[in-house]
Amino acid sequence: MITYGDFEKVEMRVGRIVAADPFPEARKPAYKLTIDFGSHVGLKRSSAQLTDRYKPEDLIGRLVVAVINFPPRQIGPFMSDVLTLGLPDSDGAVILLAPDSEVPLGGKVF
């Protein structure tokens, strides 16, 4: 079990997807996302396995929640800066975790 202090160390923030590109080099089908977390955090990149439920053009402009304080992770030729969060549906396809209303970019989940 983790403590509340452990949870507070995980920095989850809201961002808006500004680019979503195919990632054919990934082992599992994925997109390369560019996410704007506002002026305090800036633009970050993420690899996300969203191809079962989303088309690249449908991702642009969507709000998402991501962990922004993990170390960058090399995924093939791509460096992922943040972990975009999602949940599996009944078929195992990833559904993005997102606020249901507009909120300021960079807002912290608590």
Note the pTM of the prediction, 2 decimals. 0.94
**Averaged confidence pLDDT in the chain:** 96
55 contacts: CB under 8 Å, gap ≥ 6: none
- What is the average per-residue pLDDT within 21-35? 95
**CA distances in angstroms from 84 to 3, 35, 104, listed in the order given:** 23, 9, 17
Enclosing H/E stretch for 79: strand 78-80
Q: What is the pLDDT of residues 3-13, one digit of tens each?
A: 999 999 999 99
Q: What is the pLDDT of residues 87-104, one digit of tens each?
A: 999 999 999 999 999 999
Q: Can you list the domains of the chain with their CATH numbers?
A: 4-96 (2.40.50.140)
